[in-house]
Homo-oligomer: A and B are copies of this chain.
Amino acid sequence: MRRLGIHSFVWTDGKTQEGLEMALEKSAEHGYRMVELAYLFPGRYDIERLAARARALDLEIVVTMGLPPEADVSSEDRDVVAHGRALLSDVVKTVRDVGGIRLGGILYSKHGKYDRMPSRDGWMNSTEAIAATAETARTCGVEIVLEIVNRFESNLLNTTAQGLKFIADTDRDDVRLHLDTFHMNIEEADPAAAIRLAGDRLGYFHIGENYRGFLGTGTIDFTAYFRALADIGYDRDITFESFSGAIVDEALSVACGIWRDTWTDNDALAAHARTFIEEKWREAAMARQVLAAV
């Protein structure tokens, strides 16, 4: 693992500059070395100030988002796609401006429940948009990763295999997968095998419980996931993600379907998650050594 990150929604609903700055402070205070910001739409925040705070705290920034319906690059509507491409281009530049290293999430489609089947034309519109975005990102020094999500949050890329096919269709070798245990638990036949299938196309990894709560209190077999990451020699970043009604506001709750308060004490949550992930990572590495010892 390169750096261990934490999603800012653990700390703030992200609506204000103050909220984001507090999230940076809290993340660093808890020993995280990366913070994930969501929906960092241009113009809303003092980007330079955020960049300076992150640098001062030796925190790297990742930005993730999902497209709004009116900017869905997997649409068959030319104007919607154009809007989406412009939005992606703007966000990439904002990521650059904030000193961010990576843009991830549902960049290839709307974030939400679709009411139509995916289409071949939409797929092609989306791969072209991502290819163009990746080119912009390259010039900005930003990495593009595509989050594979469950069926209720996109109709286009629900599995690792689909994601690999999509990336192949972009014809870019600098676009990678962004996998997430919460989503894999719903969609993958075999999550550990999916990680091995992704191999060196895996660019970013999200750790979350099955019900998005406190790690280790749900059903996800994290040992299997971490051993698969060890199997492929994963050496990129890992970020902890958890949502509770206690922090996110109604709009965000609605977007993510967070109807319950699965936790209230985010300090305890973050401290535990760091220990949990670091220990699992270490145990997986040791398991490989034990396996091979003679």
Contact = CB atoms under 8 A, between A and B. Distances in A.
- Number of this chain's copies in the assembly equals 4
Interface string A209-222: 01101111111010
B189 A186 contact: no
A257 B188 contact: no
A287 B215 CA distance: 10
A161 interface: yes
A161 B292 contact: yes
Contacts of A187: 210-211
Interface string A246-288: 0000100110011110100000000010011001101100111
Interface in A151-178: 151-153, 155-156, 158-162, 164-165
Interface stretch (A25-33, A49-57, A92-100, A111-119): A111-119
Interface stretch (A137-145, A190-198, A232-240): A190-198
Contact of A188 (B113, B164, B291): B291
Contacts of A279: 216, 272, 275-276, 279
A188 B293 CA distance: 11
Contacts of A193: 227, 231, 287-288, 291
Contacts of A113: 112-113, 152, 257
A150 B115 CA distance: 18
Contacts of A118: 259
Interface string A82-123: 000000000000000000000000000000111111100000
A195 to B, nearest CB: 11
Nearest to A285: B217
B293 A218 contact: no
A8 to B, nearest CB: 21
Contacts of A136: none
13 contacts: A117-B254, A152-B152, A158-B259, A164-B294, A185-B185, A185-B186, A187-B211, A190-B218, A190-B227, A190-B287, A194-B291, A214-B283, A272-B279
